[in-house]
Chains A and B, each alone.
Chain A
């Protein structure tokens, strides 16, 4: 890909991020960001789960397979889990999952686990913005060579 090519794609490309947020901390942080009228990048689509421990690695694979450019998992800080330790289970899975994905050639920035408490709306905003910026710079997610093409059509790109 030539330099000019990259610039052109980067200007038009807006990544889609699938975000799995736990009901008690990060989902509420997103609610608080709303009631506080903070502004952040509109790239993430939040899917609510009761606990970050509910996030099955298959959800992450499926999101990438269906056309996500990044996946964000949000849970309570260690020790603060509403279910005592679901978040540590999530962390355990995430560590393996990310290693597996990076081994497959997926850039590390595309998959992220964040502890964001219900009070940390500012942190939520910063993570949303940072992740959108990083993935925008990386460009659209492409499945590694040899993998099957996404089953669903990709989102049409919305001009920034």
Chain B
């Protein structure tokens, strides 16, 4: 694989990252390098450490060993480094996590105003442009709980984009959605991929992986087992663990 000379252009470098929950070793020497503009899908059975891995990238979880470098900044205990990284990394969650006491528009403008110190009018204009992109500008004055799950998730994507991040993390963005709403969210993500955004996505949507991903990383029991292009991974899995996983996924669909 030609990852060796990508280092200066890398958006995210995970270098032998380890993490324990008490005695449980949940991440074992995880090393992944993600280039700028690359779109990586992380998959694996539940409990494989895929969510923990991407949550380490913006330090919603702390790693205990190894290095994480995001956009040239190493993630350390220094709060300035963390501030810089969180400003450049957007995240979308499985359960949306919109702020229920704020309108859709306020959800989108909160961080630009508070963190980026952007004038309110400018932040609102920016928010409306992203809400138009995820195709729900008419809901701007409503509150999150008045929207359907698919709409809420699209707002969550718009909210993250309003910070103009260089990298977007998706933690199982469609797992909490009804089947008829999955497509609208995936379409939004495909549209985002076309803009050249660096994306890391934990998902079981293999169709999405085929269509969008440059690379698929398969994790199991806290380690990276196999990685490659979607074509290589799905047509010609090298390890037995990936074969088992793929057969289970396909049976489920």
On whether the two chains bind one another, the answer is: no
- Which B residues have a C-beta under 8 Å from some C-beta of A? none
User: B-contacting residues of A (Cβ < 8 Å)?
Assistant: none
